[in-house]
Amino acid sequence: QVQLVESGGGSVQAGGSLKLSCLASKEILSNYCMGWVRQAPGKEREGVASLHFGGSGTYYADSVKGRFTISRDLAKGTLYLQMNNLQPEDTATYYCLARQGVYCASGFWLKLDSSYQGQGTQVTVSS
């Protein structure tokens, strides 16, 4: 059973920062591709970032490159998404995903259905 629990969302002003957390387990982080997607009302779900289960090999959407960083802490069994210089267009519900059998360093798998997914955490950025 793969359980993912996101936290860390909130409301910030443009230019601010937030760090999202996804509590999983060391075993999940070591064996699954891990990633973040986001969905804003009325918009399609967007793949944000992905991390290879080996700990290296990342993917970032062009819209977040240079501002967001995906990382993990195996000892804590937690995946992170550090988000800097947030902009109003980053406003969305952010979900943590896990999946096996895909190419982790590509953002393609983030678009697939049926990945393990958490309940989401809301990020709101005001101008």
| Both structure tokens of 34 | 């891990």
Contact 18, 8 (CB under 8 A): yes
Per residue in 4-58, pLDDT (tens digit) is: 999 999 999 999 999 999 999 999 999 999 999 999 999 999 999 999 999 889 9
Distance between the two ends of the chain, CA-based, in angstroms?
40
Q: In which order are the strands placed within the sheet that holds 18-23?
A: 5-7, 18-23, 78-83, 68-73
Q: Give the whole-angstrom CA distance, residue 59 versus residue 116.
A: 18
Which secondary-structure segment (H or E) carries 14? none
> 29, 47, 41: which is closest to 100 by C-alpha?
29
Per residue in 51-90, pLDDT (tens digit) is: 999 988 999 999 999 999 999 999 999 999 999 999 999 9
Bridge partner residues of 92 (DSSP):
123
Contact 57, 89 (CB under 8 A): no
> 82, 114, 77: which is closest to 97 by C-alpha?
114
pLDDT at position 103: 92
pLDDT at position 105: 86
DSSP tag of 90: G
pLDDT higher than 90, residue 95: yes
